[in-house]
Structure 1
Amino acid sequence: MPDAQVFELGSMKLQRGMTVPNARIVYQTYGTLAPDKSNVVLYPTSYGAQHHDTEWLIAPDRILDPGRWFVVIPNMFTNGLSTSPGNMAEPFGHGRFPEFTHWDNVHAQKRLLEEVFGIERIALAYGWSMGGQQALHWGAIFPDRVERICAVCTSARTSVHNKVFIDGTRAALTADPAWRGSYFDGRPVAGLRAMGRVYAGWAMSQAFYREKLYLQAGFSDLEDWLVRSWEGNFLRRNADDLVASFKTWELSDISDNEIYQGDLDKALGAITARSMIMPSRTDLYFTPEDSEAETAKMPNAEFRPIESIWGHRAGNPALNPEDMRFIRKAVDDLTAA
């Protein structure tokens, strides 16, 4: 990306065991770092997204004001810009892709902040979906380095039901004839289109479709919405990267590490940052019930659901000004103290 910057990590040993010789993070910054470095917002990317897809909410009248904050968007491993199956040299490739976890993501991000900017502490970890998973990992793994967390439509541990969603959507993609059991030997256009249509049924609520809100979002009919918004969204991406990102999502668990050894309650209890946990009331796979149960185990967290029929997309409301204003108000409340 011509507007992005690259942080070379060198040789990086991954949590799941492999070593990547030339790992890197592609990132972008917005705003100006304060002299005392007190205005840092870390804003990791979500599934299938790159920094230019999510930067829409960084503006004076949006959720994160670059006049106030120094926002850093690190592209997640496997998203096609940072180290990913699609850009790794041999011997990786043809099914020899390593597994990346959020433990790997947040440790690489910590190095980026320290070594490039001299940042030891962040004012806010903000994230939606897989980005929110990374924000919660920051809170659990580096509790003394995070002042606040705003975690939107996400989870501290991927639920069993969420894994069923992942498995079904991945099955649609890998049913393409180009799939060779552990990699694709060509561009799986049919699989990418099928994946987009399956995803569309999960990401938006039943009420969204009943009310035909895709018309308000500028689409001419349902087919236009499915083709341009959903098929188009995944046709942009490398299919091996999408499969690898699913694995990172599937493995997401703030307690799956040497610190907490699988004790989720202990990991949640260790998040001392003032936190806002914001599920969508109609999210079908990051459910509000799951979020509420996790929030109850956090010592300094508020449960503030988004009352919306936009489903999971209520947390990334590029087409929905009402939900955007709701999240902006939550961030303002969280950071007012």
Structure 2
Amino acid sequence: MDYSVFELGDVPLDSGETLVAAKLAYKTYGQLNGAADNVVVLPTFYTGTHRRNEGFFGPGRAIDPQRHFVVSVNMFGNGLSTSPSCATPAQRGRDFPRVSLIDNVRAQHRLLFEHIGVSRIALVAGWSMAGCQAYHWAAMYPDLVDAIVPVCASARTSVNNWVFLEGVKAALLVDPYFATGEGAPVAGLSAFGRVYAGWAYSPEFFRDGLYRRLSFNSAEELLADWERDHVENWDAHDLLAKLWAWQHADIATLHGGDLVAALRAISARAIVIGCPQDKYFSVEDNAFEAEHMPNGELRVYESPFGHCVASPGNDPEFARFFDAAVADVLG
């Protein structure tokens, strides 16, 4: 096992339910300094674990374990932290409670401040759902977070994003497994992967055959790879649990539904990175967020890779763009 586990016990959730015997899986890199404030938090994204986060830092990069204490935290539902696939028997599968991003960040706060003993957080950064958690960190704990860099993410899930997620959810739920409880939802997971892939990149990506840069000879090969990944590596109920958290992500709930008030309450330095070709999260929403955060800035990166521009290894130039933003926000 290449990670550590923090046992949270029974965790009351925003939904009113309780996550029983909850556990957070995490991995740290580097050393905590004497002031316990050189902390960089990297939550995980939708189909990611701490292993995928390793593509966002390294020796000589803006996030460097030689200088920073990096804490990569696995989100509830990703199969390593408590999830439908590994929860206590009474909460496995379809009986898993609804866990929000607020619940995730509260648990991460306990890990960092109660268990590890940090004093402040220098930076919370991440791509996609991890970036959504960065917004939540800054909104929930403004006195503890110095800076955030959300990448291809949002402070509130838009209606367009919600509709996309309804589509992939429907592709999964049409599998007979969800009606009978028999067998495994292989057909649903395959369909989920295909629909997901179609939204992950831009029209230019497919038109110009850029899938070849990812070692696929055709669009069909790419789709087949996404199918295999979801069938072989992901539990259907885990995907649904995280999808619910994504659909309901909204820092405005911390301020009675007022998104502007929630953004204005964020005191952290924030550089928001958006991609105009991203079909999940819009640059227009990011511009609104940056405008209303007191120390917010929007930086735009154009790429036919769309939402997947930030996936580690896809675009070396984007890695440099991300590092520049992190270096600037850390001052």
Distance, in Å, in 1 between the alignment partners of 2:183 and 2:253 is 34
Give 3-state SS (helix, strand or coil) of 2:102's partner. helix
Provide the secondary structure at the position in 2 that maps to 1:246: helix
1:201 positional shift = 1.0
Compare 12-21 and 49-58 and name the one that shifted more: 49-58
Whole-angstrom CA distance in 2 between matches of 1:34 and 1:186? 51
- Give the alignment partner of residue 281 of structure 2, picking from 272, 282, 286: 286
> Which whole-Å deviations, capped at 9, do the CAs of 1:217-244 have from their partners, x for residues lacking one?
222322222222x123322111100011
Judging changes above 3 Å, is the alpha-carbon distance between structure 1 residues 63 and 129 closer, same or farther for their aligned structure 2 residues? Answer: farther
Say which is worse superposed, 31-40 or 161-170, in terms of deviation.
31-40
After the TM superposition, which residues 59-138 of structure 1 pair with which residues of structure 2 at under 5 Å, given as runs?
59-62=58-61, 64-93=63-92, 95-138=94-137
Across the two proteins, how many residue pairs are aligned to each other? 330
> Which residue pairs with 1:234 in the alignment?
230
| 2:79 maps to amino acid | G
CA distance in 2 between counterparts of 1:231 and 1:61 reads 36
Q: Matched residues in 2 for 1:303 and 1:105: separation?
A: 26
Contact 2:21 2:88 in 1 (8 A): no
C-alpha distance 238-325 of structure 1, shift in aligned 2 (>3 A): same
The question of 1:201 aligning with 2:198 is answered yes
Q: Aligned AA for 1:139? A: A
Q: CA deviation at 1:125?
A: 0.5
What is the rounded CA distance, in whole Å, between the counterparts of 2:27 and 2:183 in structure 1? 31
| Partner in structure 1 of residue 323 of structure 2 | 328
Aligned partner of 1:324: which letter? A
Contact 1:58 1:64 in 2 (8 A): yes
1:261 aligned partner:
256
Where structure 1 has 5 or more consecutive residues not aligned to the other structure, the ranges are: none
**Closer, same or farther: CA 35–165 of 1 in aligned 2, 3 Å:** same
Q: Which residue of 1 aligns with 2:2?
A: 3
Find the aligned partners of 2:94 and 2:122 in 1 and give their Cα distance. 39
Displacement after TM superposition at 1:3 (Å):
0.7
Superposed CA deviations along residues 10-39 of structure 1, whole A, max 9, x for unmatched, are 111011111122011000111121122221
Distance 1:10 1:304 in 2: 40
Q: In the aligned structure 2, how far is the partner of 1:109 from the partner of 1:262? A: 23
Aligned to 2:293: 298
Q: Pick which of 271-280 and 31-40 moved more.
A: 31-40
SS of 2:66's partner is coil
Cα deviation 1:163-186 (Å, max 9, x = unaligned): 0000001111111121138xx543
Residue in structure 2 matching 1:251, options 248, 253, 259 = 248
For 2:214, the equivalent position in structure 1 comes to 217
- Deviation, 1:63, is 5.4
Runs of 4+ in 1 over 3 A off after TM superposition: none
1:18 aligns with 2:14: no
Note if 1:308 corresponds to 2:303.
yes
Q: Is the 8 A contact 1:317 1:323 kept in 2?
A: no
Task: Give the drift of 1:94.
Answer: 5.0
Compute the displacement of 1:316 (Å): 2.2
Report the AA paired with residue 70 of structure 1.
F
CA apart distance, 1:261: 1.5
Query: How far does residue 61 in structure 1 lie from its aligned partner after superposition?
Result: 4.8
In the TM superposition, residue 144 of structure 1 has moved relative to its aligned partner by 0.3
Amino acid at match of 1:109: Q
CA shift for structure 1 position 101: 0.4
Amino acid at match of 1:234: H
Give distance in 1, aligned partners of 2:227 and 2:93: 25
Task: Give the whole-Å Cα distance in 2 for the aligned partners of 1:256 and 1:318.
Answer: 35
Residue segments in structure 2 that go unaligned for 5+ positions in a row: none
TM-score, scaled to structure 1: 0.94
Which one-letter code corresponds to 1:286 in the other structure? Answer: F
| Amino acid in structure 1 at the alignment position of 2:303 | S
CA shift for structure 1 position 60: 1.7
Contact 1:149–1:276 (CA under 8 A) maintained in structure 2: yes
Q: Aligned partners of 1:312 and 1:162: how far apart in 2?
A: 12
- Post-superposition offset of 1:315: 2.3
Which range is displaced more, 185-194 or 203-212? 185-194
| Contact persistence 1:62–1:324 (CA under 8 A) | no
- After TM superposition, the score normalised by the length of structure 2 is 0.96
User: Aligned Cα RMSD in Å?
Assistant: 1.5
Aligned residue for 2:242, secondary structure, equals: helix
Mapped contact 1:279–1:315 kept (Cα < 8 A): no
